[in-house]
């Protein structure tokens, strides 16, 4: 039985009440971080943030890496650049050694974060990711307010990571709906950062998406066609 978004938010906001669950998750995440420590060292994510990540932050990067090797996507779209971009670059670099070319497009609306991400990519291979600075488009219907990147997509994607655009502006909560606009391959996989409004909206489109919540996969919001 799928959890209602309201209950998901309640659990995340009530860590003291659910301490045993979160304590177990910390141990689980720490184990995974140790196992994938060589990958975290390779991507040098501190080049972007300038400081050591928390256990949750490191585990988020590990989850992305594991999902990539599980699904082996060829065309990747990242909405919102950052440390995760380095994970996509590392995956593409590894696949390139096997003569498999991976397309990675990363969109970002903030020039400062784009430049930080570029600096981190220089340590891997800055030509392996197409990093784009994009404006955003805001629109609304009677029921929803949407925001998406203004970018001309020319390919269909296998893997989509939704961590942008910024979904709260002037106390207005937006839904990031690029995924409804772009072309997707039949069995695409998407991973959503902690954006419950976006997840809730997409989950209602049951005829189009199969949404699944998990406490151990990134922010836990995963869905696919």
From first to last of its 225 residues, what are the pLDDT tens digits of the chain?
445 666 556 555 655 556 676 777 788 888 888 988 888 888 877 767 666 788 888 888 998 999 999 999 999 999 999 999 999 999 999 999 999 999 999 999 999 999 999 988 988 876 889 999 999 999 999 889 999 999 999 999 999 999 989 888 888 889 998 988 899 888 888 888 878 888 888 888 777 787 777 666 655 455 665
* Alpha-carbon span 104 to 85, nearest angstrom: 9
CATH number for the domain including 110?
A: 3.40.50.150
The packing angle between helices 19-35 and 55-71, to 10°, is: 60
Count: domains in the chain: 1
Question: Would the CA dihedral through 136, 211, 81, 182 be positive or negative?
Answer: negative
What is the pTM assigned to this prediction?
0.86
Question: Would the CA dihedral through 36, 188, 102, 50 be positive or negative?
Answer: negative
> Is 114 within 8 Å of 89 (Cβ atoms)?
no
Q: Residue 145's domain spans which residues?
A: 5-224
Element (H, E) at 72: none
């Amino acid at each position: 039985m799928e959890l209602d978004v309201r209950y998901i938010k309640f659990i995340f906001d009530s860590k003291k009440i659910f301490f045993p669950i979160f304590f177990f998750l910390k141990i689980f995440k720490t184990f995974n971080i140790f196992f994938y420590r060589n990958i975290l060292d390779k991507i040098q994510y501190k080049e972007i943030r300038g400081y050591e990540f928390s256990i949750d932050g490191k585990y988020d990067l590990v989850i992305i890496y594991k999902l990539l090797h599980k699904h082996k996507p060829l065309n990747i779209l990242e909405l919102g650049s950052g440390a995760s971009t380095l994970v996509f670059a590392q995956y593409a670099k590894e696949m390139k050694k096997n003569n498999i070319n991976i397309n990675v497009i990363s969109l970002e609306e903030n020039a400062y974060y784009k430049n930080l991400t570029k600096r981190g990519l220089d340590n891997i291979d800055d030509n392996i990711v197409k990093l784009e600075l994009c404006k955003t488009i805001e629109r609304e219907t009677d029921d929803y307010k949407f925001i998406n990147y203004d970018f001309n997509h020319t390919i269909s994607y296998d893997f989509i990571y939704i961590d942008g655009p910024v979904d709260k502006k002037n106390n207005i909560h937006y839904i990031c709906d690029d995924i409804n606009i772009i072309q997707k391959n039949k069995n695409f996989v998407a991973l959503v950062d902690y954006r419950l409004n976006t997840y809730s909206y997409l989950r209602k489109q049951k005829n189009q998406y199969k949404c699944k919540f998990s406490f151990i996969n990134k922010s836990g919001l995963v869905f696919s066609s």
